[in-house]
């Protein structure tokens, strides 16, 4: 087997599925987000609520991973995690993040940048209680998240032991180290693929108390 990767320079697609014009987008970026997000849901894409979340630590070293969007309002965009995870540690030191939604079937992506805050304990608890029971148990044992564990079997054993210990409990309490964050946007970018790499990119920036819309070079 060759250990050389194939030549990637000729691998490309021509994007043909849509256009993005200033005259046709909503003046409020959240409403434009909802319009595109609902179209992704209607198209029955695979997990259109999955997003790449980029954070950086106090030294500026970036980390990116895929998480699930669990709330979207004008107040911001919510996701849930272990506060002691890498993302939680990053956000404690540097409370800014960027989200990326990429829907290749629609030849679209959305970037959302903003400040990040923890959501209230009551909101986190309400969401936790909606999760499947096995997911609730997993939140208890997956700590410290991203910490080293000797084997998969040890992780599975922890899960089974706690499942048995909690068998008589009809409702589990939310772990103190687990909860939600909200990205409060200051900038959005909507990207629509176009032929010849002349993509449409519309950027909303929060300036002087209003959203300002501008077109970006592809």
Sequence-ordered alpha helix ranges (H) in 7-99: 29-42, 86-93
Separation CA 25–CA 27 (nearest Å): 6
Active site residues: 197
pLDDT surpassing 60 at residue 152: yes
Question: pLDDT tens across 88-135, in order?
Answer: 999 999 999 999 999 999 999 999 999 999 999 999 999 999 999 999
162 is in an annotated binding site: no
Q: What is the pLDDT of residue 2?
A: 61
Average pLDDT score over residue span 18-26: 97
Q: What is the pLDDT of residue 142?
A: 83
Distance of CA 65 to the CA centre of its chain: 8
63 is in an annotated binding site: no
pLDDT surpassing 80 at residue 56: yes
Average pLDDT score over residue span 40-50: 98
131 is in an annotated binding site: yes
| pTM of the shown model | 0.92
Whole-number average pLDDT of the chain: 94
pLDDT surpassing 90 at residue 176: yes
> Domains in the chain, please, with CATH?
13-130+177-215 (2.30.110.10)
Number of other residues whose CB lies within 10 A of the CB of residue 29 = 24
The secondary structure of residue 142, as a DSSP letter, is: S
Query: CA-CA-CA-CA torsion for 124, 54, 47, 116, nearest 10 degrees?
Result: 30
- Per-residue confidence band for 171, with pLDDT thresholds at 50, 70 and 90: confident
Per the CB < 8 A criterion, the answer to whether 24 and 87 are in contact is no
């Amino acid at each position: 087997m060759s250990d050389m990767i194939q030549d990637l320079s000729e691998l490309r697609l021509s994007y043909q599925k849509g256009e993005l014009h200033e005259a046709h987008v909503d003046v409020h970026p959240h409403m434009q987000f909802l319009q595109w997000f609902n179209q992704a849901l209607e198209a029955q894409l695979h997990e259109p609520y999955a997003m790449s979340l980029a954070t950086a630590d106090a030294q500026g070293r970036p980390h990116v991973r895929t998480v699930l969007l669990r709330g979207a309002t004008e107040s911001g965009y919510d996701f849930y995690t272990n506060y002691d995870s890498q993302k939680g540690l990053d956000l404690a030191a540097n409370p800014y993040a960027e989200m990326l939604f990429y829907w290749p079937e629609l030849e679209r992506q959305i970037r959302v940048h903003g400040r990040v805050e923890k959501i209230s304990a009551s909101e986190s608890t309400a969401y936790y209680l909606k999760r499947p029971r096995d997911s609730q148990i997993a939140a208890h044992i997956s700590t410290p998240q991203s910490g080293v564990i000797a084997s998969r079997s040890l992780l599975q054993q922890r899960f089974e032991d706690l499942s048995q210990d909690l068998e008589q409990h009809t409702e589990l309490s939310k772990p103190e180290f687990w909860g939600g964050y909200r990205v409060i946007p200051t900038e959005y970018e909507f990207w629509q693929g176009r032929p010849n790499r002349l993509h449409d990119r519309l950027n909303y920036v929060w300036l002087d108390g209003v959203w300002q819309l501008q077109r970006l070079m592809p």
